[in-house]
Every structure is written in structure tokens, then in C-alpha cells.
A and B are shown apart, each in its own frame.
Chain A
Amino acid sequence: MGSHYEALIRKPLIAGEKSYHDVSVDIAKPIESRANKQWWIAFSIALAMFLWGAGCIIYTISTGIGVWGLNKTVGWAWDITNFVWWIGIGHAGTLISAVLLLFRQKWRMGINRSAEAMTIFSVLQAGIFPVIHMGRPWLGYWMVPIPNAFGSVWVNFNSPLVWDVFAISTYLSVSLVFWWTGLLPDFAMIRDRAVKPFQKKIYSILSFGWTGRAKDWQRFEEVSLVLAGLATPLVLSVHTIVSYDFATSIIPGWHTTIFPPYFVAGAIFSGFAMVQTLLIVMRKVCNFQEYITVQHIELMNIVIMITGSIVGVAYMTELFIAWYSGVEYEQYAFLNRATGPYAFAYWTMMTCNVFSPQLMWFKKLRTSIMFSFFISIVVNIGMWFERFVIIVTSLHRDYLPSSWTMFSPTFVDISIFMGTIGFFFVLFLLYARTFPVIAQAEIKAILKTSGEKYKRLRDSGKSLTGTGADKRTSVINKLNK
């Protein structure tokens, strides 16, 4: 069949002898089986971290921001570092689901669901930091332009902080509907398989009554495509606007026009690293090696390598421009980063973000699962340090040397950060047990093109017509007759 043709050079994206029914069975399996001991251990650790972090948030709000390590020179530190780090991680999901959809990259289908889930969960973590930094989070609604009791006191639409509110809330909500719309056919599959009435009830609510009519699928495809077209500039705008928080200020080291593309590349870089971290574990635990193949890992490593190189070029450009500008404050800001008291953070960032991804040029390394996992952790650490370097080293030595100081985090700073990591994993672990973690309807749609079994049939010159039948479901049919 012509519609299932694919260039011979393409390697299969779904390994093994999979039929349509196999896809349903495999993807429903983690949901239908009981959680194992490792899951409970991981979940308990994550939950404990989350609860401890939540306690520290309550402590912060009830006592005041003074419990953090901030001082009058360094007024932003771990909070905004964590905020930008989480937002950055949240960029890979939409990139995978939207940009790769526009480029018709089929390999996104094995990983898009989890990457989108990761996006939503990490943007939620990011949102915590600005809200608690307000000190009085119950007044958070003041960021919304609503007429209020104090007369015409509106938000300032010239402020990048207000742009952030709009960008992040649009990003979070659009990502959520994109994710959920894609989930509907998969929830419907779980619903129609469910034997326990309770499960059936839950999944029928979650699936919004998806029926899979031809017209629904036509609209579904169009909606996905338009959402991808909207989400692509959106994802680029979000980190651009986050970078404006710094770039529109007049602090040396922040006042940089390169920030938007540099932040966006960094965000994709860190986001892919986190997807890699999560999926390497998930493919093993949930037995998805045939859906998330070494080829998927390799392709993600290539994205990590490219975006890592862009970030490297951005670092060099920053240094060059600081020197070339002839502005001594600007020059000092960068000299201080590399040789000052925070040099350890700067060189950690350089090693993790610029040097380590270059190892991915070697095919042996980028197809090694253990190595990929290791590098993904290294990149996550490096990208955290990047934000720390940008924020703290630019602030701690300002225009007035008498106010120069150092920042050191208190246990509250550290605990809240750990708490968000715990919260993230609580959400992700719950998701991994209850949601179809691979977009099974999309996998089925590309099975005949990219499935190993079908590729072999086609390459040997056989017709694919009728090969979608599965013995197990056909036997039941005969009995019904």
C-alpha cells in the first residue's frame, strides 16, 4: 500500500512483532497491573521530600522571606534560579509534541506523551517560586488585570514580570489542553478494556466520551496540527519572556540582547536532558524498550548535543561582547564569573553544558544507555548552575563595592528546592501508573509504516493489506459468530 511507504534508510521505531492489539495490551499493562515495590519506594521518597518542602513553604510564608539566604545585595537567588530551571525543563515537552509534529518527525510519538506530562508538572513547580516569593501569596491575584477595590490600580503592562504571568499561564493552559486532547483516544482505549467498574467509571470521565468517529478523527488531526502551529511560537515566546526578566534590566551580565535565543536553546537543552533521565528509567520499568528504542535515545542525544553547542556559542558570544563593548562594568561582571568567588559554579556550568554534550559526537557513546543517563543528569546539574551563575554572580558584586557580599542558601532554600523535585516526582510517578504513557493511537497510526514487523513484510515485497488482524482478537470474533 502506497500510503504506508517509508524510505528504506529509516530504521523501525517500534521494535518487535507488534500488532495493533499488542500496542493496546502493552500500553495498558502498567495501568492494569499493580505497583511493584520499587514504585512504592520511589513514591514514598518523593512524597516525603514533597511534604518536607511544603512544610518549609509554610514556614517561609508564616515567618517571612528572611528565612531564605537573601540579603539586600542579592535579592534574587535560589528562588528565581529554580523558577527558570523548572520552566526550562518544561520546554522539551512542547518542543517534542509541537515542533517535531510540524516537522513530521515520527519518532516523537514514542516519547511525546511523557514529555508533555513532564512539561506540565515542571511548569507547576516553576509557578510555585514567584508565588511564594511574593511573601503574601493570597494576594497573588493582584497580578491579574482586574478592577479592584482600590480604584483604578492596574498591573503595569510595561513590566516583563507581568508578561511572564501571561506567558506562563498561557503556556501551562495550552500545554494542558494539547496534552489532554491527545490523551482522549488513549483514555478511551483504557476505558473500553477496563473490567473493574470503578476503573471504567474513572476512565470514561477522563476520556470525555471519546468515540472515534471518522469526523472526530478528522477534527482531531486538524486540532493537533493547529495547536502545534500555535504552541511552536508560544514555546519560543515563553523563555524569551523569561529572559526579558533579566535582559530588560540594567544589571551588568543581565542587560544582554543575546538572552532570548540563548535562553530558549538552554531550555530545550535542559528539557531534553530531563526527558532522557525520565524515559531511560521508564522504558525499563514499564517494559517499553520496544517503543522507546535506542534510536529514540540517540536522536534525543543529538538534540542535546546541538542545543548544548548553541549554548556554548552563546557563552562565548557573551564573553566576546562583554570585552568588545568596552564597558568596564560589563567586563568585570564576566571576569568575576570566571575568576571570582563563584568560579566553581561557572566552571561547573562550562564543563556540564559545553564540554559534556560534545561527547555525543561519538556514536558509541550516544547509543549507550548508561552513558546517556549519566550525561542527562550532568546536563540537568549544569543548567541549574547556569541560572545560578547568571543570577547570583551578576548581583553579588554590584556598582557599589561596599555592598558586595556573598549568597549562601539556608536550609529553607535547599528544602523548598528539594520539595519541588519531590512534588515533580510524586506527580510523574502517579502519572506513570494511571495514564497511558505512550500515545497509543498515534503509535498505531504509524505502526504499518514504522513497525519492525511491517517494515520487514513490505521490504520483502508483500502487501500489508489484512496484516492488522491479530489472532487473539480474531478468535473471539469467531466465537461470537
Chain B
Amino acid sequence: MKPAKIVRAFYNDDDVLLSAVKTIKENKYHIEEVYTPFHVHGLDKVLGLEPTRIAIASFIYGCIGFAFSILMMNYIMIEDWPQDIGGKPSFSYIENMPSFVPIMFELTVFFAAHLMVITFYLRSKMWPFKTAENPDPRTTDDHFLVEISVSEVTGKLKKILKDSGAIEINIVDSKEY
């Protein structure tokens, strides 16, 4: 069953936020999302987020770029139109490789960097003309927002949030959300 309500608790300090997230988790509430104006160190651990695998993706993209550069230069310089430049004939890749190293490096970096950034943008749903989804404009200034999904809002939850240091609590229907 889909939770019917979303509780939005606002905090105005990162240390308070960290301890509040811990408390909420301890009380077995489901945290849907946390919005912060900057990277709060340790928040991903407290929330139990899996480590991101984007660096692994970048490594794979780099390998693709490296392979691409070798295939490209092998085709162009060795297979398609081998030339004798300055008395150095180009009949095998390995013999000519030293002068191909710079571009092998550049294309590795090019692929690793750009494809990683594109992956990041798509996975985090960011592109030009994308509408921002942070529910409150203050979360990019100095407020921290914790969204908790519940089937019904109890006084106990409100008390936990108040005690954890929330300065404002809003409740919205999850349909709205």
C-alpha cells in the first residue's frame, strides 16, 4: 500500500540534521528523501545510502576511450593509408605507438570525464529545462529538509521530530508529492 502522507521536517543546522536523521531511523520511520544546501559529510552513511558506483562507471568509460583511440589510430595510420613519414614507415601499430601515446591518453580522459558527467546528470535527473524538484526554495540556502512517508501522521512522530530539533513541520498528501 502506498503511504498516504509525506511529512516534511525542516532543520537549520547540519549537526542537528545528522542527529535527527539518526533518531528518525532509530524509531523505524522511512525517510523518503533529504534535501540539503551543501554536502553534509556523513549524511549518506547515516541514511544508509549505498556507495555510488559512478567512479567504476568512469573507469569503464576510460577503458572504452583507450580502446577506441587504439582502434582509430590503427585503422587510420596503419591499415587504411600507411605512410613513410620522415623515414619511419608505419606498418605496425606497436612500432609507431610512442607517437600515439598522447592521443591515447587524451581520448581516455575525454571518454572517462564526459561519459561520467553525462551519467551523473541522467542518473540524478538533471538537464537543461529540467524543473527542480526540491519542495522548498530554502533548501538551497540554509535549510535542511527531511521527507518521511507514513500512512498516517501520529503525535509520536511529531514529537520525535520536534525533539530532534525540527523548526517547522509540514504535512502533504503523497498524491500531491
Please report A residues at the B interface, Cβ cutoff 8 Å: 1, 3-4, 19-21, 24, 145, 152-158, 160, 162-163, 166-167, 170, 173-174, 177-178, 181, 184-185, 188-189, 191-193, 204-223, 225-227, 230-231, 233-234, 237, 241, 244, 441-442, 444-445, 448, 464-470, 473-474, 477, 480-481
Q: Indicate whether A157 sits within 8 Å of B37 (C-beta atoms), given known contacts A192-B141, A215-B49, A466-B13.
A: no
State A226–B44 Cα separation when bound (angstroms): 18
**Apart from A20-B141, A219-B123: 15 A-B pairs, beta carbons within 8 A:** A21-B141, A24-B140, A156-B83, A170-B106, A181-B120, A192-B132, A205-B129, A210-B132, A212-B134, A212-B140, A218-B39, A244-B102, A444-B38, A465-B13, A473-B142
Is the Cβ of A21 less than 8 Å from the Cβ of B142? yes
B116-141 at interface with A (beta carbon < 8 Å): 116-117, 120-121, 123-134, 137-141
Is the Cβ of B141 less than 8 Å from the Cβ of A177? no
Q: How far is the CB of A187 from chain B (nearest CB, A)?
A: 9
Is the Cβ of A218 less than 8 Å from the Cβ of B44? yes
Stretch in B22-30, B51-59, B150-158 with 4+ CB within 8 Å of A: B51-59
Q: Indicate whether A191 sits within 8 Å of B13 (C-beta atoms), given known contacts A177-B114, A222-B55.
A: no
Is the Cβ of B38 less than 8 Å from the Cβ of A173? no
State A162–B103 Cα separation when bound (angstroms): 9
Neighbour of A223 across the interface among B116, B125, B132, B133, CB < 8 A: B116
State A166–B110 Cα separation when bound (angstroms): 9
Is the Cβ of A20 less than 8 Å from the Cβ of B132? no
B33's closest neighbor in chain A, by CB? A213
Q: How far is the CB of B39 from chain A (nearest CB, A)?
A: 4
Q: Indicate whether A465 sits within 8 Å of B16 (C-beta atoms), given known contacts A474-B167, A477-B167.
A: yes
Is the Cβ of A170 less than 8 Å from the Cβ of B110? yes
Neighbour of B138 across the interface among A213, A226, A244, A473, CB < 8 A: A473
Is the Cβ of B39 less than 8 Å from the Cβ of A220? yes
B90-126 at interface with A (beta carbon < 8 Å): 90, 96, 99-100, 102-103, 105-107, 109-110, 112-114, 116-117, 120-121, 123-126
Neighbour of A156 across the interface among B16, B47, B85, CB < 8 A: B85
Chain B residues near A205: list those with CB within 8 A: 128-129
Chain A residues near B10: list those with CB within 8 A: 477
Q: How far is the CB of A240 from chain B (nearest CB, A)?
A: 8
Q: Does B72 contact A (CB under 8 A)?
A: yes
State A48–B1 Cα separation when bound (angstroms): 66
Chain B residues near A3: list those with CB within 8 A: 41-42
Interface centre among A181, A213, A225 (most CB of B within 10 A): A213
Is the Cβ of B142 less than 8 Å from the Cβ of A19? yes
Q: Indicate whether A1 sits within 8 Å of B110 (C-beta atoms), given known contacts A157-B76, A217-B43, A445-B39.
A: no
Q: Indicate whether A208 sits within 8 Å of B106 (C-beta atoms), given known contacts A24-B141, A157-B77, A188-B140.
A: no
Chain B residues near A207: list those with CB within 8 A: 132
Chain B residues near A163: list those with CB within 8 A: 102-103, 106
B12's closest neighbor in chain A, by CB? A469
Neighbour of A166 across the interface among B14, B103, B112, CB < 8 A: B103
Is the Cβ of B117 less than 8 Å from the Cβ of A181? yes
Q: How far is the CB of B16 from chain A (nearest CB, A)?
A: 6
Neighbour of B126 across the interface among A157, A209, A227, A448, CB < 8 A: A209
Q: Does B63 contact A (CB under 8 A)?
A: no
Q: Does B73 contact A (CB under 8 A)?
A: yes
Neighbour of B109 across the interface among A233, A444, A448, CB < 8 A: A233
Is the Cβ of B54 less than 8 Å from the Cβ of A204? no
Q: How far is the CB of A189 from chain B (nearest CB, A)?
A: 4
State A480–B127 Cα separation when bound (angstroms): 33
Q: How far is the CB of A106 from chain B (nearest CB, A)?
A: 13
Q: How far is the CB of B77 from chain A (nearest CB, A)?
A: 5
Is the Cβ of B44 less than 8 Å from the Cβ of A214? yes
Chain A residues near B41: list those with CB within 8 A: 3, 445
Is the Cβ of B134 less than 8 Å from the Cβ of A237? no
Q: Does B34 contact A (CB under 8 A)?
A: yes
Q: Indicate whether A215 sits within 8 Å of B81 (C-beta atoms), given known contacts A167-B106, A192-B140, A226-B55.
A: no
A20's closest neighbor in chain B, by CB? B142
Neighbour of B117 across the interface among A19, A227, A233, CB < 8 A: A227
Interface centre among B42, B77, B113 (most CB of A within 10 A): B113
B57-81, CB under 8 A of A: which get 1 and which 0?
0100010000000001100110011
Is the Cβ of B14 less than 8 Å from the Cβ of A448? yes
Is the Cβ of B55 less than 8 Å from the Cβ of A157? no
Is the Cβ of A208 less than 8 Å from the Cβ of B143? no
**Residue contacts A-B, CB under 8 angstroms, 8 given:** A157-B99, A162-B103, A192-B141, A208-B130, A214-B34, A230-B62, A445-B40, A448-B14
B132's closest neighbor in chain A, by CB? A209
Is the Cβ of A209 less than 8 Å from the Cβ of B127? yes
Q: Does B36 contact A (CB under 8 A)?
A: yes
Is the Cβ of B15 less than 8 Å from the Cβ of A477? no
State A477–B76 Cα separation when bound (angstroms): 65
Is the Cβ of B117 less than 8 Å from the Cβ of A223? yes
Neighbour of B39 across the interface among A145, A217, A481, CB < 8 A: A217
State A211–B137 Cα separation when bound (angstroms): 9
State A154–B80 Cα separation when bound (angstroms): 9
Q: Indicate whether A154 sits within 8 Å of B76 (C-beta atoms), given known contacts A193-B141, A465-B19.
A: yes
State A445–B52 Cα separation when bound (angstroms): 20
Q: How far is the CB of A195 from chain B (nearest CB, A)?
A: 11
State A467–B133 Cα separation when bound (angstroms): 28
Chain A residues near B38: list those with CB within 8 A: 185, 217, 441-442, 444-445
Neighbour of B132 across the interface among A158, A204, A221, CB < 8 A: A204
Is the Cβ of A226 less than 8 Å from the Cβ of B58? yes
